[in-house]
Chains A and B, each alone.
Chain A
Amino acid sequence: MNAVEIRQLQKSYRVYQKNEGLVASIRGLFHREYRDVDAVKGIDLDVAQGEFVAFLGPNGAGKTTTLKLLSGVISPTGGQARVLGHVPWLRENEYRRRFALVMGQKNQLWWDLPAQESFALHEKIYRIEHENFVRTRDELCDLLDVAHLLGRPVRELSLGERMKMELTAALLHSPDVLFLDEPTIGLDVIAQHNIQKFLKYYQQERKITILLTSHYMKDVAALCKRVVIIAQGEIIYDGSLAGIIDRFSGHKILSLQFADGSMPGDLARYGDVLEVVEPKARLRVDRGSISQVLSSVLANNTLEDISVEDPPLEEVIAELFSFSAEQQKSDELRNGQKQPARASSQINLK
């Protein structure tokens, strides 16, 4: 059974279009121009129970909006979604007791009180049996190594410690579905790693369904087998992390190390020269012509070392994002700027 089922889910916002300058501001008092921004444009997605799925996408792509829709914070403009069989935006308590949302940038704990007070409140509002509550709390605090901080006011905790407390609070009622919106944002490498380790362990133990958005590729690589890329409110990729490179990168990176003094001057004929530090050079070569280029390089040069690699994932994704952003811009120009921004269907590579 699927934990999350999304069909043609849409969300558009009406935003006030303000032009620059004082005159425009005064005009805005009497007459306002609004523009519809389509944050999510009819996406379809199924997530099976026990899956750990990452949402990737540039800022404003619609990742957070999707999570907000699925947690019932906002209602959609159109389409349907079911999480654990519930329609999220009806906000039934039965549903609300079965999921949790953790936002890296938002604090859900009581700021001036120790986290244990917030936990005690969660025990009551989520109707957790006291024995269960104590056991889960101690277990989580143990795993996250925060037991000694329970009595300290939340405002005095470091960002990393607070995030761990947020996670603990969110998991106290053993949710079946967990939404994580950039849970490691602003954390240092060690804290990020700790959170990753914890999430991985917890998800494998409990087999809960997790949807995660993050800008850190390391989070995604460490945690999720399945990656969904959203850009301009549409899903443009759904598959494995490694598959992204196959699908979106038409290049390979060719690294060459020449024998002393034998580096040719016309490297550019093999491909785009990325870097030259004698006796080494790095080239970007079309995937299709890689074998041809290799044999030619080997035939004409004396080489000490050679390697062919995929381009780094982050670069591929950055390229992909900037490609879809350009698509949007040219679309807007074509449609005139007051039209709602529609994503092009050309990049729908799925």
Chain B
Amino acid sequence: MLARAQTWWTILKICVEERLVYRGDFALGTLMRFLPIVTQIFLWTAVFAAAGSGLIKGYTRNDVVAYYLLTMLARAFSSMPGLASGIARQVREGEIKKFLIQPIDLVTYLLLARVAHKFVYYLVAAGPFALVYYLCRSYFPGWPPAEVMAAFLLSLVLAFLLGFFLEATMGMIAFWFLEVSSLLFVYMLFTFFFSGHMFPLEILPEPWKTFVDFLPFKYMAYFPAAVFLGKVQGTELVHGLMIQTAWILGFIVLCRVSMQAGFNRYSGYGG
């Protein structure tokens, strides 16, 4: 157990070091993420002006902007740039062999690498995030009570895990189809619309609303934001967290199973 913990720690350290190699590219990429905020604020201001009434499906303009800022934070946890495509590349180019030959678990390794990746990202992005939230503080209703805050933080961590295992599972498909970029594009579209990244999911008409309830995507953006804003409370909140956890467990199993099947299928492409 101790040996395993030391291995994990070493992987984390090395991955952080690796992330820091390309610091210029990293800093730029991080800052670019904040540009869409301005356009979103203008967009929703215009939408509410056109609608005339101050309320759309229970959301005021301020609510929507706050919601958008919060999903951005949730996405910072749940989005996994390059995870699935990275697995696909490793399969195609044969680098994946390393994980078959050496006594190291692929999923554990990827998860640790992702934790390191996120850690460095938060380190760089914490300043800009704080600044944006400070400037936009008037859109927020104020700090939620401590227990809601705790649930919010928990839902963020769970969003990270869900995003990771979902996308890692997508990556494992590369063992069957070497090229997964179009599949990833479809996946990206799905998350874009059904995670609540673009708009609060309450806005969706039936049957879409119910449809989205049965998908895992909403736990990657909508759910944490809704928790923070107090849209989900009490037993509904507890249920939400439980469903989110259930999705994670489901994808952990699926990811493992598809990895094993993929390894058995793998024929060692590329020399």
Q: Are A121 and B266 in contact (CB under 8 A)?
A: no
Set of chain B residues within 8 Å of A122, measured between Cβ atoms: 102
* Residue in B closest to A69 when the chains form the complex, CB atoms: B268
15 pairs of residues in contact across A and B, judged by CB atoms under 8 Å: A73-B266, A74-B266, A74-B267, A75-B264, A96-B103, A101-B101, A106-B94, A106-B270, A110-B18, A112-B22, A113-B21, A120-B14, A121-B10, A124-B3, A126-B103
Set of chain B residues within 8 Å of A65, measured between Cβ atoms: 268
Bound complex: CA A212 to CA B65 (Å): 64
Which 9 A-B pairs rank lowest in CB-CB distance, beginning with the nearest?
A124-B7, A96-B103, A93-B103, A124-B10, A112-B21, A125-B104, A73-B268, A73-B100, A68-B268
Set of chain A residues within 8 Å of B53, measured between Cβ atoms: none
Residues facing A in B60-97 (CB within 8 A) are 94-95, 97
The reply on B17 being an interface residue by CB < 8 A is: yes
The reply on A324 being an interface residue by CB < 8 A is: no
The reply on A64 being an interface residue by CB < 8 A is: yes
The reply on B6 being an interface residue by CB < 8 A is: yes
The reply on B11 being an interface residue by CB < 8 A is: yes
The reply on B98 being an interface residue by CB < 8 A is: yes
Bound complex: CA A117 to CA B10 (Å): 9
Taking A113-B18, A124-B3, A124-B6 as contacts, is the C-beta distance between A96 and B268 under 8 angstroms? no
Q: Are A91 and B100 in contact (CB under 8 A)?
A: yes
The reply on A105 being an interface residue by CB < 8 A is: yes
Residues facing B in A65-116 (CB within 8 A) are 65, 68, 71-75, 91, 93, 96-97, 100-101, 103, 105-106, 108, 110, 112-113
A103 CB to nearest chain B CB (Å): 7
Q: Are B7 and A117 in contact (CB under 8 A)?
A: no
Set of chain A residues within 8 Å of B10, measured between Cβ atoms: 120-121, 123-124
B163 CB to nearest chain A CB (Å): 25
The reply on B207 being an interface residue by CB < 8 A is: no
Set of chain A residues within 8 Å of B98, measured between Cβ atoms: 108
Bound complex: CA A68 to CA B100 (Å): 10
Bound complex: CA A231 to CA B18 (Å): 43
Bound complex: CA A105 to CA B94 (Å): 11
The reply on A152 being an interface residue by CB < 8 A is: no
The reply on A13 being an interface residue by CB < 8 A is: yes
Bound complex: CA A75 to CA B264 (Å): 7
The reply on A127 being an interface residue by CB < 8 A is: yes
Residues facing A in B91-125 (CB within 8 A) are 94-95, 97-98, 100-104
Q: Are B7 and A112 in contact (CB under 8 A)?
A: no
Bound complex: CA A122 to CA B104 (Å): 10
* Residue in B closest to A125 when the chains form the complex, CB atoms: B104
The reply on B145 being an interface residue by CB < 8 A is: no
Bound complex: CA A121 to CA B109 (Å): 11
Q: Which residues of A are in contact with B by a Cβ distance under 8 Å?
A: 13, 64-65, 68, 71-75, 91, 93, 96-97, 100-101, 103, 105-106, 108, 110, 112-113, 117, 120-127, 153
Set of chain B residues within 8 Å of A68, measured between Cβ atoms: 268
A-B contacts counted at CB < 8 A amount to 69
Q: Are B3 and A106 in contact (CB under 8 A)?
A: no
The reply on B271 being an interface residue by CB < 8 A is: yes
Bound complex: CA A127 to CA B14 (Å): 17
Q: Are A106 and B95 in contact (CB under 8 A)?
A: yes
Q: Are A113 and B101 in contact (CB under 8 A)?
A: no
A105 CB to nearest chain B CB (Å): 5
Set of chain A residues within 8 Å of B6, measured between Cβ atoms: 124
Q: Are A125 and B7 in contact (CB under 8 A)?
A: yes
Set of chain B residues within 8 Å of A74, measured between Cβ atoms: 266-268
Set of chain A residues within 8 Å of B263, measured between Cβ atoms: 91
Q: Are A73 and B97 in contact (CB under 8 A)?
A: yes
Which of the listed residues A65, A71, A103, A121 has the most CB atoms from chain B within 10 Å of its own CB? A121
Bound complex: CA A96 to CA B106 (Å): 14
Q: Are A96 and B102 in contact (CB under 8 A)?
A: yes
Bound complex: CA A103 to CA B98 (Å): 11
Bound complex: CA A242 to CA B144 (Å): 83
Bound complex: CA A73 to CA B22 (Å): 32
Residues facing A in B1-41 (CB within 8 A) are 3, 6-7, 10-11, 14, 17-18, 21-22
In the complex, per-residue mask of B235-253: 1 if CB is within 8 Å of any chain A CB, else 0: 0000000000000000000
Bound complex: CA A113 to CA B116 (Å): 15
Set of chain A residues within 8 Å of B17, measured between Cβ atoms: 113, 117
Which of the listed residues B18, B97, B270 has the most CB atoms from chain A within 10 Å of its own CB? B97
Bound complex: CA A9 to CA B3 (Å): 36
* Residue in B closest to A182 when the chains form the complex, CB atoms: B271
B204 CB to nearest chain A CB (Å): 36
* Residue in B closest to A127 when the chains form the complex, CB atoms: B3
Set of chain B residues within 8 Å of A153, measured between Cβ atoms: 21
B262 CB to nearest chain A CB (Å): 12
Bound complex: CA A106 to CA B98 (Å): 10
A11 CB to nearest chain B CB (Å): 9
Bound complex: CA A125 to CA B10 (Å): 9
Q: Are B267 and A96 in contact (CB under 8 A)?
A: no
Q: Are A125 and B103 in contact (CB under 8 A)?
A: yes
B248 CB to nearest chain A CB (Å): 26
Q: Are B271 and A105 in contact (CB under 8 A)?
A: yes
Q: Are B271 and A117 in contact (CB under 8 A)?
A: no
Taking A74-B266, A112-B18 as contacts, is the C-beta distance between A106 and B271 under 8 angstroms? yes
A65 CB to nearest chain B CB (Å): 8
17 additional A-B residue pairs with CB within 8 Å, beyond A125-B104, A126-B103 = A64-B271, A72-B101, A73-B100, A74-B268, A91-B100, A96-B101, A106-B270, A110-B18, A112-B21, A112-B22, A113-B18, A120-B10, A120-B14, A123-B10, A124-B7, A125-B102, A153-B21
